[in-house]
């Protein structure tokens, strides 16, 4: 593992070009101490420490408390390392954790985490003001706790709206009060005759360990307070790692020392039943009240400063709907999100209506753990891929980031598996909603690198020789007009049904387009087909002759063993080019590719998609491939109600009985749910039977003869003309020619096994 803990020295890094839609940082911004360390440590040493730490100790004992503190801080520390790695690789703008995730894993993932993160920050305002009111009412019982909470919440919002810089100055005074309270507590005394003791047992009917953990964990989530102020920092690349890690370290030392003092000064009952037990122990009791009030107010202030900036970033990235655009505006030289602050106040007041500290804290734990998990995943992926663009000054091995992510996920399930699944469902729902909106960004992210790494691994694992067990249709569609003639592409999409790759190709006349125009045309075709719900690749090439270009494309397109095995194209109605068209069919067959030629019906298209006719000629060659393609076609959701009819023509009644027995047994063995029809010719020509039986079908599969059986291309062209004539007037018809030397009958047996 490689670590570079040189975050106390100035960073040297190459400036990264900024996205077009991101504003530059405000000059003369906040420094490390005021902008990161102060809000982070004040959030860490907050309401949980003063009002719930004794309750934690009384429920799980000293050892359990030290385990909770260490485990919680370990997760936060690993996350802080991930945050530092990302922060020293790029300039972190407003939005903090959301900004980092969206620029690493994409805007959909960023939004899926950023929206819950905003609500977590907004709700945490209520957590802290409720804690303030609880301690104030304990001192002055004549006050109304709910009214105090509402008034204090509104006052905190007013301070935040006034100025972030002024709010930071207020936090310096609060930090001095907290320091005074801790000194008074250290010099304090016992309050119980019998104390809990180092090995004392917790109270009877204690809360479960993981429930206590859920209540405590928000105490160590203070790193978000600094990260969310990233847009207001003068030098976020330096300030975020330095301030964050110092805050985490300071908080851990204090939380490990406090329980050692508490256990020798009070018993378990006093610790769990008296939220202000620290006041009774302190050398000067009022100092604890000052610390409680200062900590709760500063934490509330930090949250109400951070949440609107996350909201502002979400709106500016167009994650939220357009009608919410006013929430992204900023006022004054420091770009204060004042409208967002008032909205955040409304969310906080709703949470205040709940009014239960122990109920709100676990909810925040889930939100923060989700954010921490994704931050760790983002840093882990960036480090694992070793992309040249990821060059953090603060280097952290990717395994530590993934360890942090695993810790977050494990703790979430241990706390509440149902709540974890619910949180995942919410994030997934937001992700799919954003993905459906097809948001465009001006920055890249790590997703392309992830897929490239998987693709590289997969390509080298694929055998060059196809096997029947894993055969999937990889289709190349030859089309002269992909945006106007969709039927062949829709057929390919139905056959692949997300099983294989589909590439739509077009051959352009040489000299009519240069490389930039060809790339733009590819993009246009891809976007058009995507809007039609067709997930395909697009490949354009130039050639003096369209048939030579198509033949060259079939021979060269692909990467390693991953090449198209099935060529889908439209039928040719141009008599003048029929010879070249038939030559292309022969070339495809020689290249050992399957051929599927769609002859469209000009009026009904694919009809009602209820009946598929397969004209059977036996399991060998075309017969098994046609049956396989019919099976794949019916697997598509648009064809799921279709019935497959396997039609077999025999010369006489004497042959019919054996044919019925054999084909029925064969189809039953394959379990593809097809119906069989054995038809007696009685000297009728095949085309008469074909026209009579298949005129009610929606698509018809007909096999083609092997071009190599004919002495010349002229003879094959005559055969193809005759096939045309026989099928004239039928519904949509697919002429099938199976690739040589591949046992498609074995594919059917594998699928039915």
The share of the chain scoring above pLDDT 70, in percent, equals 85
CA dist., res. 708 & res. 234, Å (int): 75
Give yes or no for a contact between 395 and 144, defined as CB atoms under 8 angstroms apart. Answer: no
Pairing of strands 675-680, 611-615: unpaired
CA dist., res. 721 & res. 215, Å (int): 79
CA dist., res. 510 & res. 543, Å (int): 5
Question: What is the DSSP annotation of 664-684?
Answer: HHHHHHHT---EEEEEE-TT-
Of 438, 433, 427, nearest to 119 (Cα)? 427
Q: Beta strands of 520-625 (E only): which ranges?
A: 537-543, 566-570, 594-599, 611-615
Confidence of residue 255 (pLDDT cuts 50, 70, 90): very high
Q: What is the DSSP letter of 727?
A: T
Q: How many CB atoms neighbour CB 64 within 10 A?
A: 18
Calculate the alpha carbon distances from 265 to 52, 185, 189, 269, 274 in Å: 16, 11, 6, 12, 13
Q: What is the pLDDT of residue 749?
A: 64
Q: Beta strands of 491-581 (E only): which ranges?
A: 502-509, 537-543, 566-570
Q: What is the pLDDT of residue 248?
A: 94
Confidence of residue 179 (pLDDT cuts 50, 70, 90): very high
Give yes or no for a contact between 415 and 207, defined as CB atoms under 8 angstroms apart. Answer: no
State the distance between the two ends of the chain, measured CA to CA, in whole angstroms: 48
How large is the average pLDDT for residues 198-204?
A: 69
Q: What is the pLDDT of residue 167?
A: 64
Q: Does position 103 have pLDDT exceeding 90, yes or no? A: no
Q: Could you tell me how far CA 390 lies from the centroid of its own chain? A: 20
Least confident of 41-50, 147-156, 547-556, 630-639: 41-50
Q: Which is higher by pLDDT, 471 or 349?
A: 349
Q: What is the pLDDT of residue 467?
A: 61
439 contact partners, CB below 8 Å, separation of at least 6: 107, 108, 317, 318, 319
Q: Does position 591 have pLDDT exceeding 80, yes or no? A: yes
How large is the average pLDDT for residues 87-108?
A: 75
Per mean pLDDT, which of 7-21, 511-525, 614-628, 639-653 is the most reliable? 639-653
CA dist., res. 269 & res. 125, Å (int): 29
Calculate the alpha carbon distances from 753 to 333, 468, 583, 711 in Å: 70, 12, 38, 41
Question: What is the DSSP annotation of 266-290?
Answer: S-HHHHHH-TTHHHHHSSSHHHHHH
604-647 confidence digits (pLDDT tens): 889 999 999 999 877 666 888 898 899 899 988 899 999 999 99
CA dist., res. 359 & res. 123, Å (int): 12
How large is the average pLDDT for residues 401-406?
A: 93
CA dist., res. 461 & res. 141, Å (int): 72
Confidence of residue 750 (pLDDT cuts 50, 70, 90): low
Confidence of residue 26 (pLDDT cuts 50, 70, 90): very low
204-239 confidence digits (pLDDT tens): 778 889 889 988 988 887 787 776 666 677 887 788
Per the DSSP assignment, residues forming a β-bridge with 735 are 597, 702
Q: How many CB atoms neighbour CB 206 within 10 A?
A: 17
CA dist., res. 440 & res. 417, Å (int): 35
Confidence of residue 29 (pLDDT cuts 50, 70, 90): low
Q: What is the CA radius of gyration of the chain?
A: 35
CA dist., res. 590 & res. 554, Å (int): 11
How large is the average pLDDT for residues 186-190?
A: 91
Q: Reduce the DSSP state of residue 476 to 3 states and report it.
A: strand
Of 245, 194, 200, nearest to 82 (Cα)? 245
695-726 confidence digits (pLDDT tens): 999 999 999 999 989 999 999 999 999 998 88
**Which contacts of 203-211 are long-range, i.e. CB under 8 A and separated by 24 or more positions?**
203/58, 203/59, 203/268, 203/269, 203/272, 206/58, 206/59, 206/60, 207/59, 207/60, 209/60, 209/64, 209/68, 210/411, 210/414, 210/415, 210/416, 211/362, 211/415
529-557 confidence digits (pLDDT tens): 888 888 888 999 888 888 999 999 998 88
94 contact partners, CB below 8 Å, separation of at least 6: 230, 231, 232, 309, 312, 313, 335
Backbone angles phi, psi at 672, to 5 degrees: -105, 0
Q: What is the pLDDT of residue 608?
A: 92
Q: What is the DSSP letter of 19?
A: P
Stated length of the chain: 753
Of 556, 557, 546, nearest to 583 (Cα)? 546
Burial of 80 (0-12, 13-18, 19+ CB in 10 A): buried
Q: Does position 195 have pLDDT exceeding 60, yes or no? A: yes
Give yes or no for a contact between 240 and 227, defined as CB atoms under 8 angstroms apart. Answer: yes
Confidence of residue 425 (pLDDT cuts 50, 70, 90): confident
CA torsion through residues 486, 492, 494, 497, sign: negative
How large is the average pLDDT for residues 13-23?
A: 35
203 contact partners, CB below 8 Å, separation of at least 6: 58, 59, 268, 269, 272
CA dist., res. 463 & res. 210, Å (int): 49
433 contact partners, CB below 8 Å, separation of at least 6: none
| C-alpha atoms less than 13 angstroms from C-alpha of 591 in its C-beta half-sphere | 22
How large is the average pLDDT for residues 417-424?
A: 83
């Amino acid at each position: 593992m490689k670590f570079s803990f040189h975050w106390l020295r100035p960073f040297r890094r190459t400036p990264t070009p900024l996205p077009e839609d991101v504003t530059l940082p405000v000059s003369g911004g906040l420094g490390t101490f005021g902008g990161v360390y102060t809000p982070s440590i004040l959030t860490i040493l907050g309401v949980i420490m003063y009002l719930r730490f004794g309750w934690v100790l009384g429920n799980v004992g000293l050892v359990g408390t030290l385990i909770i503190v260490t485990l919680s801080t370990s997760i936060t520390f690993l996350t802080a390392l991930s945050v530092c790695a990302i922060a020293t690789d790029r300039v972190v703008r407003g939005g903090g954790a959301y900004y980092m995730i969206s620029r690493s894993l994409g805007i959909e993932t960023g939004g899926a985490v950023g929206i819950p993160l905003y609500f977590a920050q907004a709700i945490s305002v209520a957590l802290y003001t409720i804690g303030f009111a609880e301690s104030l009412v304990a001192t002055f019982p004549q006050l109304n706790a709910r009214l105090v909470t509402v008034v204090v919440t509104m006052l905190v919002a007013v301070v935040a709206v006034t100025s972030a810089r002024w709010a930071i100055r207020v936090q310096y005074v609060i930090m001095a009060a907290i320091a005074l309270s801790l000194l008074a507590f250290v010099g304090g005394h016992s309050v119980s005759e019998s104390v809990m003791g180092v090995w004392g047992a917790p109270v009877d009917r204690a809360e479960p360990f993981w429930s206590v953990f859920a209540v405590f964990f928000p105490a160590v989530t203070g790193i978000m307070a600094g990260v969310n102020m990233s847009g207001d920092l003068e030098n976020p690349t330096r300030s975020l790692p330095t301030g964050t890690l110092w805050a985490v370290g300071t908080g851990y030392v204090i939380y490990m020392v406090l329980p050692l003092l508490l256990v020798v000064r009070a018993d378990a009952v006093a610790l769990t039943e008296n939220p202000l037990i620290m006041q009774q122990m302190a050398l000067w009791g009022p100092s604890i009240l000052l610390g409680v009030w200062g900590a709760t107010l500063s934490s509330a202030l930090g949250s109400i400063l951070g949440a609107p900036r996350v909201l502002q970033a979400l709106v500016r990235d167009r994650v939220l709907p357009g009608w919410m655009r006013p929430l992204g505006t900023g006022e004054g030289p420091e770009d204060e999100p004042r409208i967002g602050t008032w909205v955040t106040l409304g969310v906080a007041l709703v949470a205040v209506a709940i009014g239960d500290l122990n109920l709100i804290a676990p909810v925040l734990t889930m939100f923060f753990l989700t954010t921490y998990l994704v931050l760790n995943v983002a840093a882990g992926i960036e480090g694992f891929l070793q992309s040249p663009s990821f060059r953090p000054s603060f280097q952290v091995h990717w395994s530590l980031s993934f360890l942090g992510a695993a810790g977050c996920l494990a703790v979430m399930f241990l706390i509440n598996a149902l709540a974890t699944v619910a949180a995942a469902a919410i994030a997934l729902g937001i992700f799919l909603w954003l993905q459906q909106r097809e948001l465009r960004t001006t920055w890249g992210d790590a997703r392309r690198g992830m897929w490239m790494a998987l693709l590289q691994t997969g390509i080298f694992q694929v055998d060059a020789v196809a096997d029947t067990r894993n055969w999937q249709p990889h289709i190349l569609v030859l089309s002269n007009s992909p945006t106007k003639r969709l039927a062949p592409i829709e057929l390919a999409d139905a056959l692949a049904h997300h099983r294989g790759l589909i590439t739509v190709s077009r051959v352009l006349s040489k000299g009519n387009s240069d490389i930039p125009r060809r790339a733009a045309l590819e993009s246009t075709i891809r976007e058009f087909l995507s809007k039609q719900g067709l997930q395909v690749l697009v490949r354009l090439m130039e050639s003096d002759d369209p048939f030579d270009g198509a033949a060259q494309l079939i021979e060269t397109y692909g990467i390693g063993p991953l090449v198209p095995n099935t060529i889908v194209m439209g039928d040719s109605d141009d008599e003048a080019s029929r010879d070249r068209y038939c030559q292309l069919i022969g070339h495809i067959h020689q290249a050992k590719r399957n051929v599927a030629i769609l002859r469209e019906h000009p009026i009904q298209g694919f009809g009602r998609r209820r009946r598929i006719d397969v004209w059977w000629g036996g399991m060998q060659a075309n017969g098994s491939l046609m049956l396989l393609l019919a099976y794949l076609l019916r697997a598509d959701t648009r064809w799921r109600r279709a019935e497959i009819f396997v039609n077999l023509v025999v010369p006489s009644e004497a042959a019919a009985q054996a044919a019925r027995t054999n084909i029925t047994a064969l189809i039953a063995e394959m379990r593809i749910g097809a119906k069989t029809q054995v038809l007696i010719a009685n000297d009728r020509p095949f085309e008469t039977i074909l026209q009579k039986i298949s005129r009610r079908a929606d698509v018809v599969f007909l096999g083609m003869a092997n071009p190599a059986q004919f002495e010349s291309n002229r003879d094959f062209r005559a055969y193809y003309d005759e096939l045309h004539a026989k099928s004239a007037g039928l519904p949509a018809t697919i002429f099938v020619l199976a690739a040589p030397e591949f046992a498609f009958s074995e594919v059917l047996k594998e699928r039915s096994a």
